[in-house]
């Protein structure tokens, strides 16, 4: 008994330090054993020395500890610490959200801001398609096929290639798996149109109507007149000065005011709603449309009606 007290063995059913409830994230290394935790437990204040920890191990089972991070505190008993270390570790993954409408460069910038990649690392892979493709992508780049979703990633082991491949698989599973009927269109045309709808119409419920207008313009040899396409090549999407210059650039293949047909590629990542709207447009009397200051849609059957709407809603 004297030896037991001299070793300073702790009471395993009493708090280590009831006055200190602060959470501690304790990491159990791979291959760790109860015996190897002695230095950490001494530093925690659970015991005074290595011999005392050996005596604790005779009373409390630490053979079930799991590698990884665990939440403990000094307000816990040694028995509670053991239960925590034997429980499931804290997940290492964190959420990363790719917003609907984001371009490749926007995703790249968000990953750089997190500190997970060097600038351009994601964009290089996505623009050159230097990943394993789960389906044939009929586009020179992966723009438009990088499905917008919240993905769980492990920051310490983050891989831009892995994220891109997961986005492509999600696109396949959410959209292509239903075997959509493209009719007279093809996958590339639908994805490009969906990306325009994502940026053009803020209300998802109106996207089928806008899709009907844009397909009608396209099929009748009109310019699409979608200003969002001229935003695409700007570094900052809302660069007003850059946009005005782009709208006057006849050589820009993304200028749908001055050039006919669809732009050569998507202008961002469309949502499933936009993809379905591009597939299933609603025919209407409208040939023109605009949005007021509140983002509300207003259609017109001809140029005169469109000009009236411009005056009424002060949109120029």
- The dihedrals phi and psi of 24, each to the nearest 5 degrees, come to -120, 130
Q: Which residues contact 89 (CB under 8 A, 6 or more apart)?
A: 28, 66, 67, 68, 69, 70
Q: Look at the chain and count its residues.
A: 316
Share the mean pLDDT of the chain. Answer: 94
pLDDT of residue 3: 41
**pLDDT, tens only, 280-304:** 999 999 999 999 999 999 999 999 9
Residues 62-69, mean pLDDT to the nearest whole number: 94
Q: Which of these, 131, 124, 126, lies nearest to 143 by C-alpha position?
A: 126
**pLDDT, tens only, 125-167:** 999 999 999 999 999 999 999 999 999 999 989 999 999 999 9
Domain spans of the chain? 2-85, 95-177, 180-284
Rounded to whole angstroms, the Cα distance separating 309 from 311 reads 5
The pTM (predicted TM-score) of the whole model is 0.79
């Amino acid at each position: 008994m004297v030896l037991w007290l001299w070793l300073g063995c702790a009471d395993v059913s009493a708090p280590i330090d009831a006055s200190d409830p602060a959470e501690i994230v304790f990491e159990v290394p791979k291959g760790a054993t109860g015996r190897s935790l002695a230095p950490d437990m001494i530093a925690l204040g659970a015991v005074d020395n290595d011999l005392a920890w050996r005596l604790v191990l005779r009373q409390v089972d630490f053979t079930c500890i799991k590698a990884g991070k665990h939440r403990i505190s000094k307000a816990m008993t040694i028995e509670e610490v053991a239960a925590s270390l034997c429980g499931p570790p804290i997940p290492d993954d964190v959420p990363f959200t790719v917003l609907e409408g984001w371009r490749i460069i926007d995703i790249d910038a968000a990953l750089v801001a997190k500190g997970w990649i060097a600038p351009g690392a994601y964009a290089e892979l996505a623009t050159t398609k230097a990943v394993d493709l789960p389906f044939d992508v009929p586009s020179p780049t992966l723009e438009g096929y990088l499905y917008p979703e919240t993905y769980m990633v492990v920051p310490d082991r983050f891989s831009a290639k892995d994220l891109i491949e997961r986005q492509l698989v999600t696109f396949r599973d959410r959209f292509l798996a239903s075997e959509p009927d493209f009719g007279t269109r093809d996958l590339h045309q639908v994805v490009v149109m969906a990306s325009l709808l994502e940026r053009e119409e803020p209300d998802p419920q109106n996207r089928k109507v806008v899709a009907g207008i844009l397909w009608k313009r396209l099929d009748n040899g009109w310019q699409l007149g979608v200003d969002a396409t001229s935003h695409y090549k700007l570094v900052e999407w809302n660069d007003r000065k850059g946009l005005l210059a782009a709208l006057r650039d006849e050589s820009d293949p993304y200028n749908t005011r001055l050039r006919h047909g669809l732009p050569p590629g998507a202008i961002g990542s469309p949502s499933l709603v936009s993809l379905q709207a591009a597939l299933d447009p609603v025919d209407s009397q409208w040939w023109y449309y605009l949005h007021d200051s509140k983002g509300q849609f207003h259609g017109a059957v001809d140029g005169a009606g469109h000009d009236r709407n411009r005056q009424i809603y002060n949109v120029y």
